[in-house]
Amino acid sequence: MSKRVAVHTLGCKVNQYDSEAISAQFKACGYEVVDFDQAGADVYIINTCTVTNISDHKSRQMIRRAHRKNPQAKIVVVGCLAQTNPDEVKSIPGVNLIVGTDQRSRIVELVEQIGGDEQGILVGDILKVRKFEEINAVAFEGRTRAYLKIQDGCSQFCSYCKVPYARGPSRSRPAASVLEQVKEIVGQGYGEIVLTGVHLGGYGRDLNPPSSLSDIVEQVAEVPGLERVRISSVDPNEIDDKLIDLVADNPKVCRHLHIPLQSGSDQVLQRMRRRYQTADFRRIVESVRARVPEVAVTTDVIVGFPGETRELFDETYAFLREMVPCKIHVFPYSPRKETPAADFPDQVPKPEKDRRSKALIALSDEMGAAFRRQFVDKVVQVLFERVLDDKLVGHTDNYIQVAVPAGPDAEGLIGSIVDVRIVSAADGQLAGILP
């Protein structure tokens, strides 16, 4: 008799990878992985996030939804909320098993040991974990690019962030394991791999001998058959000259750097306990653009951090207009219990945070449109991913979405990197034709 498992993921690319690895373990044990919205799964896995209050709410909501779908099913809660608030998760009706952000390699065994209305909790002291947990994912449903987690945890303890308490200290996947996984993923037919981690720029510091993100990117790019390697997110103080050289000179390394800024005010950055200043961000952006004029620079910004006056927000706005990222991911500050910033004075009212968010989103849209327009009448290379509304859609290496008319051979082009001539830019993407 078939056993069915459904997995729902909240949060970041690291969680997406972890969920794929969990699904792979269940498949290997004879389970059928079904859609989470399909009633009748025997096991529901909710991979939670706790980066904001909204993330907590959504995680609890999905746990309750799973229980309503099938009250007889085993409900398993894993991930960051499970790690930081296991007692809260335990109180939600229907939860059978709680597993934090370590020991997920045992999840099938643990699920099968739990019976009836029993409840199990496997949440240890994540701050004492020092070894990277190798849970492998080499198949990514419905995607043409694969994610590979090469780093976990964070040792920075920014004043607003719960991630170190949810993920533990920074720890890196050994290079031999990374390269083995890259080869397996390429063997599955994926042309692009996204290297990801909780604090990716910290990769390699804990290894013996020490390594670096640029070292592992260089090694990954040498794997035969891999066409693209994309770097998910790196702080400005962790981008070295070698990494810029790889983006500039190695055709496999995507011309896209996601560099979190969080604030364009040095005063706010100091209160956030970020380990760089705006000058570091400016230096890196100017350096990489001097080498790679068509590089896509994207960033994250938190608005309404405690003590961020209108004048300090204006500093951020002006700095971003100067730096011209092609995409700003805007996050209104969310107080997190047990973080220092939650108790800081001068908390910013929600209406003001909303106003600032809208201003930065409008700025992001403006700068993104300008960035895309420079590619009109040029030929770009596109990794095609899907057919949508009679269009064949994919992304360039600098992560611009491109759509072309879907001809009779459209399905056959999915997963291929193809030259496309761009004819127009509108609605957040480029429109092109096949030469």
The band of 84, judged by pLDDT with boundaries at 50, 70 and 90, is very high
Q: What are phi and psi of 146, to 5 degrees?
A: -110, 150
Tell me the C-alpha distance between 60 and 54, whole Å: 10
Q: What single-letter amino acid sits at 203?
A: Y
String of DSSP letters for 141-158 = TT-SEEEEEEEE------
pLDDT confidence of residue 116: 67
Query: In the structure encoding, which two tokens stand for residue 121, read together?
Result: 């909790």
Backbone angles phi, psi at 163, to 5 degrees: -55, -45
Cis upstream peptide for 435 (omega within 30°): no
For residue 289, the number of C-alpha atoms closer than 13 Å in the C-beta half-sphere is: 14
When pLDDT is averaged across residues 373-377 and rounded to a whole number, the result is 98
Residue with tokens 């309750």: 64
Residue 339 CA: distances (Å) to CA of 49, 60, 129, 182: 16, 21, 21, 37
Convert the pLDDT of each residue in 314-344 to its tens digit: 999 999 999 999 999 999 999 999 899 999 9
| Separation in Å, CA 417 to CA 186, 224, 408 | 14, 16, 17
172-183 pLDDT tens trace: 999 999 999 999
State yes or no: pLDDT of 1 exceeds 70: no
CB 211 within 8 A of CB 255: no
Nearest Cα neighbor of 164 from 345, 344, 338 is: 338
Mean pLDDT of 87-115: 94
242 touches 268 (CB < 8 A): no
Percent of the chain whose predicted confidence (pLDDT) is above 90: 93
For residues 244 and 213, what is the distance between their CA atoms, to the nearest angstrom? 11
Domains, the chain, in order of start with CATH, read 3-124 (3.40.50.12160), 126-254 (3.30.750.210), 256-374 (3.30.750.200), 379-433 (2.40.50.140)
Indicate whether this model's pTM tops 0.85.
yes
Q: What is the pLDDT of residues 193-247, one digit of tens each?
A: 999 999 999 999 999 999 999 999 999 999 999 999 999 999 999 999 999 999 9
